[in-house]
Structure 1
Amino acid sequence: MSQPERPPSVRRDELLESAYRYALAHGLAELSLRPLAAAIGSSPRVLLFLFGSKDELVRALLGRARADELAALRRVREAGGADDLAAAVRATWGWLVDPAHRPMLVLWTQAYARSLSEPDGPWAGFARQTVEDWLGLLAEVAGGAGEGGADAALGLALLRGALLDLLATGDAERTTAVVERYLGLLAAATR
């Protein structure tokens, strides 16, 4: 059960940012308060005071990761064109394949998997929220194309599959070719 949200505090915000940078470098899967606290210049006791529990700290970190994800999706949306699903998929893939974003994507993948395997823990709902976020972007640019937004869902499935493949293999050339192949088929289907 979630505890009441703590009042805002500058120190809490500073530690959350530091903890987020730590999580990007080390992941969230095996997060332990002692190493985290030592790395960010705090103590487990202070973290527990400011966040209430380790689960609440994880929830705050997931919220912080989701804020980055939503900001990235907004930038992609703006760059991809107002009503062009192919442009949105291409722009999103361009962001995903950029090595600078790899730590955030690995963190996202860890959180996504944990959300599926531990639906009652601090990870609860993360996977569903990210699906809704990404599908919302693609459905918006697709204009509801396809039956029941199927084109947007297909674009999302392609991006997620290619992303998992990219993270597992590091093969940006092959995964980009797959995305471009899909976009070519999409273009041919709409002519």
Structure 2
Amino acid sequence: MATTKPAPSARETELLDRAYAYSLTHGLADLSLRPLATAIGSSPRVLLFLFGSKDGLIRALLARSRTDELELLQEINSRYDDAPGLEVIARELWSWLAAKERRPLMTLWVEAYGRSLVAPEGPWADYARSTVADWLELLATAQPEQERTSSRGEARRTGVLAMLRGALLDLLATGDTDRVTAAVEDYLAN
């Protein structure tokens, strides 16, 4: 008989939101429950009760960050009745990714992506693969049907995704928005 987890309580949701805000500033790699609990007005025991373990809390925080990303993808998708083309969607994505107010979220994304590659059995499991699939799905919807189903179309959207990820890493490392945006524009123009 299958069981489902009950909907989170208001307190669990509140603490998750506070923990998420904390993780955007402090990261997840070296997360310690005691400083986190103090910072968000809770206790390690309450966090363990609500999330089961530190790994359970990290999984919940990763799911919360992925929700932010998926909301972006759905928002962009909803703007178009027809496939607008990879270049249009890539420019919208880049504009969203490069916005200064999203640097904490993007830094957290890079941390979680990297951790899922080096610690694939832990709470990070499947994070990188899942985000690649999400972004490729959005890019596919930007392509006309004939292009979308072709191997060339798949290669093109994979290249656009790789370029955006590389540009994001460069931007986070240097903060040079103008230079990196010019490189994104140059890539998309060709």
The offset of 1:74, in angstroms, is 1.8
CA–CA separation in structure 2 for the residues paired with 1:93 and 1:7: 34
What amino acid is the match of 1:71? E
Q: State whether structure 2 residue 18 is matched by structure 1 residue 13.
A: no
Q: State whether structure 2 residue 173 is matched by structure 1 residue 168.
A: yes
* Contact 1:37–1:44 (8 Å) recurs in 2: yes
What amino acid is the match of 1:31? L
Give the number of aligned pairs: 182
Residue 98 (structure 2) aligns with: 97
Q: State whether structure 2 residue 181 is matched by structure 1 residue 181.
A: no
Bigger CA drift: 7-16 or 48-57?
7-16
1:110–1:32: structure 2 CA closer, same or farther, 3 Å change rule?
Answer: same
Residue 137 (structure 2) aligns with: 136
What amino acid is the match of 2:185? E
- What is the aligned-residue identity percentage? 56
What amino acid is the match of 1:133? D
CA–CA separation in structure 2 for the residues paired with 1:77 and 1:154: 20
Residue 34 (structure 2) aligns with: 34
Residue 67 (structure 2) aligns with: 67
User: Looking at both structures, which has the greater relative contact order when contacts are Cα pairs under 8 Å and sequence separation is at least 6?
Assistant: 2
1:137–1:7: structure 2 CA closer, same or farther, 3 Å change rule?
Answer: closer
CA–CA separation in structure 2 for the residues paired with 1:80 and 1:97: 22
- CA distances 1:154-179 after superposition (whole Å, capped 9, x unpaired): 11011001001101111111111111
What runs of 5+ residues in structure 2 fail to find an aligned partner? none
Bigger CA drift: 85-94 or 139-148?
139-148
SS at structure 1 position matched to 2:122: coil
CA–CA separation in structure 2 for the residues paired with 1:73 and 1:66: 11
- CA distances 1:81-101 after superposition (whole Å, capped 9, x unpaired): 741211000000000110010
SS at structure 2 position matched to 1:142: coil
CA–CA separation in structure 2 for the residues paired with 1:79 and 1:101: 21
What amino acid is the match of 1:30? D
What amino acid is the match of 1:12? E
* Contact 1:80–1:88 (8 Å) recurs in 2: no
SS at structure 2 position matched to 1:120: coil
- CA distances 1:7-54 after superposition (whole Å, capped 9, x unpaired): 521111111011001111111111110000000000000000011000
- RMSD, aligned α-carbons: 1.6
Residue 77 (structure 2) aligns with: 77
The TM-score normalised by the length of structure 1 is 0.90
CA–CA separation in structure 2 for the residues paired with 1:118 and 1:81: 40
What amino acid is the match of 1:116? L
CA–CA separation in structure 1 for the residues paired with 2:57 and 2:6: 11
